[in-house]
């Protein structure tokens, strides 16, 4: 069965592009689908101020294929040394859309992150005052807490205190994976919103161990039980305004993934819209795809909706995706486990 839909050009509100050669290799997959993306700052060293954000933004623009219109929206990486002045300068720069809280040790390159949330209270106050949104990697890092419970626990231990201290601070609960996070966001909207990834809409925790360990399905937060995946799917296909796309596409080379201490991260960018069109069609909700990919996020960030449209077409033969070459290495593209027929046709 073939098909064709046209949607407003989408935005990816959570994207890892890395730097150097990886950046040059992965960026084309994003710019053929997305008009803008919120760029994660967890480089080594991290992007901690407006100056570093601007330099990184320029490197991204320089890596863009010619004749492509793409706007990187930058984020600052919060550390316990971030100052109120850093926040004001970022807000004034006009190119920084948010600041990101990584609990130290929670994920890839988070060692410079925040150990005690109280340490950044003045920074949170300043963010609330200048209305710079806070993005959170929502997992506690206490080794005594089960890895599958770390997101739910984060709500009580970190999010709730921040909500009490700074009720007007706009918060994005990033890459949510649990039914508890879905309900929390619903009941704390509009100050709180959430990004949802493509992979968490497709895999549950069983996929990690299907016939053996599957490093290419390892990401953080980990995929959870099927009931949680169902809750995420219902949230996005229901068209609710507080949920929007952030792919968390996170490229790592094969040697970094297939390693005794392999990296967390799934490279979904090339298949992002193909997978989403498949899922929304399967749920009988294709008409709500555009809200999730192209409207809800822009409204939360108070950005203009993109002009221009993107056509998605459903063909008759499954798409093929090859690993991306990087030097003498490669990066595997996410395999959803079902054939993909939807693809981007052409921007109009």
Q: Which residue ranges make up the site for Zn ion (CB under 5 A)?
A: 248
Q: Is the Cβ of residue 194 or residue 289 nearer to ligand DOR in the bound state?
A: 194
Q: How far is the CB of 112 from Zn ion (least distance, A)?
A: 15
What are the backbone dihedrals phi and psi of residue 99, each rounded to the nearest 5 degrees, phi first? -125, 145
Task: Report whether 245 contacts 320 (CB < 8 A).
Answer: no
Q: Is the Cβ of residue 108 or residue 285 nearer to Zn ion in the bound state?
A: 108
Partner that binds at residue 42, options Zn ion, ligand DOR, none, CB closer than 5 to 8 Å by kind: ligand DOR
Residue 308's nearest CA partner among 70, 73, 29 is: 70
Beta-sheet strands, E only, within 240-314: 243-245, 309-314
Give the integer Cα–Cα distance in Å for 256 and 63: 23
Q: Is the Cβ of residue 268 or residue 296 nearer to ligand DOR in the bound state?
A: 268
Q: How far is the CB of 327 from ligand DOR (least distance, A)?
A: 18
Instruction: Kindly identify the residues of this chain, within the stretch 26-85, that bind ligand DOR according to CB under 6 A.
Output: 42
Contact window for ligand DOR (CB under 6 A) among 44-52, 116-124, 229-237, 258-266: 258-266
Instruction: Kindly identify the residues of this chain, within the stretch 83-112, that bind ligand DOR according to CB under 6 A.
Output: 107-108
Q: Is the Cβ of residue 57 or residue 150 nearer to ligand DOR in the bound state?
A: 150
Sheet of 309-314, strand order: 3-8, 309-314, 342-347
Q: How far is the CB of 4 from Zn ion (least distance, A)?
A: 32
Active-site choice (11, 49, 86, 248): 248
Residue 72's nearest CA partner among 81, 63, 85 is: 63
Q: How far is the CB of 14 from ligand DOR (least distance, A)?
A: 9
Q: How far is the CB of 309 from ligand DOR (least distance, A)?
A: 30
Q: Does residue 248 have an active-site annotation? A: yes
- Minimal CB distance residue for ligand DOR: 265
Q: Is the Cβ of residue 268 or residue 285 nearer to Zn ion in the bound state?
A: 268
What are the backbone dihedrals phi and psi of residue 82, each rounded to the nearest 5 degrees, phi first? -65, 140
Beta-sheet strands, E only, within 156-213: 171-173, 192-196
Q: Which residue has the tokens 């084309």?
A: 28
Q: How far is the CB of 252 from Zn ion (least distance, A)?
A: 12
User: What's the farthest any 2 CA atoms get from each other in the chain?
Assistant: 56
Q: Is 328 exposed, middle or buried (0-12, 13-18, 19+ CB in 10 A)?
A: exposed
The answer to the question of residue 265 lying near ligand DOR (CB under 6 A) is yes
Measuring CA to CA, how many Å separate 308 from each of 15, 39, 220, 342? 21, 22, 33, 19
Q: How far is the CB of 313 from ligand DOR (least distance, A)?
A: 30
Residue 139's nearest CA partner among 169, 165, 101 is: 101
Radius of gyration, alpha carbons of the chain: 19
Would you give the binding string for ligand DOR spanning residues 300-319, x where CB under 6 A is met? --------------------
Give the integer Cα–Cα distance in Å for 310 and 344: 7
Contact window for ligand DOR (CB under 6 A) among 71-79, 115-123, 257-265, 293-301: 257-265
Q: Is the Cβ of residue 39 or residue 231 nearer to ligand DOR in the bound state?
A: 39
Contact window for ligand DOR (CB under 6 A) among 29-37, 112-120, 263-271, 310-318: 263-271
Instruction: Kindly identify the residues of this chain, within the stretch 143-182, that bind ligand DOR according to CB under 6 A.
Output: none
Task: Report whether 115 contacts 149 (CB < 8 A).
Answer: no
Residues that bind ligand DOR (CB under 6 A): 16, 42, 107-108, 137, 219-220, 250, 263-265
Catalytic residues: 248
């Amino acid at each position: 069965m073939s098909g064709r839909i046209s949607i407003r050009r989408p935005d990816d509100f959570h994207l890892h592009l890395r730097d150097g050669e990886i950046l040059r290799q992965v960026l084309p997959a994003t710019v053929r689908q997305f008009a803008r993306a919120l760029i994660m700052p967890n480089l080594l060293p991290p992007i901690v101020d407006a100056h570093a954000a601007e330099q990184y933004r320029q490197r991204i623009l320089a890596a863009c294929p010619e004749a492509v219109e793409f706007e990187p929206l930058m984020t600052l990486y919060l550390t316990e040394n971030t100052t109120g002045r850093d926040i004001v300068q970022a807000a004034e720069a006009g190119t920084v859309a948010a600041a990101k809280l990584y609990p130290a040790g929670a994920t890839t390159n988070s060692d410079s992150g925040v150990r005690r949330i109280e340490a950044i209270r003045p920074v949170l106050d300043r963010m609330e005052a200048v209305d710079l949104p806070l993005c959170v990697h929502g997992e506690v890092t206490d080794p005594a807490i089960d890895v599958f419970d770390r997101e739910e626990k984060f709500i009580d231990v970190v999010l709730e205190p921040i909500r009490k201290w700074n009720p007007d601070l706009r918060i994005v609960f990033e890459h949510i994976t649990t039914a508890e996070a879905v309900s929390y966001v619903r009941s704390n909207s509009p100050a709180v919103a959430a990004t949802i990834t493509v992979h968490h809409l497709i895999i549950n925790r069983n996929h990690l161990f299907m016939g053996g360990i599957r490093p290419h399905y390892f990401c953080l937060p980990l995929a959870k039980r099927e009931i949680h995946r169902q809750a995420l799917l219902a949230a996005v296909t229901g068209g609710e305004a507080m949920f929007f796309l952030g792919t968390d596409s996170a490229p790592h080379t094969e040697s970094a993934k297939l390693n005794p201490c392999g990296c967390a991260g799934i490279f979904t960018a090339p298949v992002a819209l193909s997978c989403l069109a498949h899922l929304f069609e399967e749920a009988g909700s294709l008409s709500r795809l555009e809200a999730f990919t192209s409207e809800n996020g822009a409204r939360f960030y108070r950005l203009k909706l993109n002009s221009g449209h993107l056509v998605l077409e459903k063909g008759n033969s499954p798409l093929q995706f090859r690993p991306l070459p990087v030097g003498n290495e490669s990066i595997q593209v996410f395999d959803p486990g079902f054939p993909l027929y939807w693809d981007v046709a052409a921007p109009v």
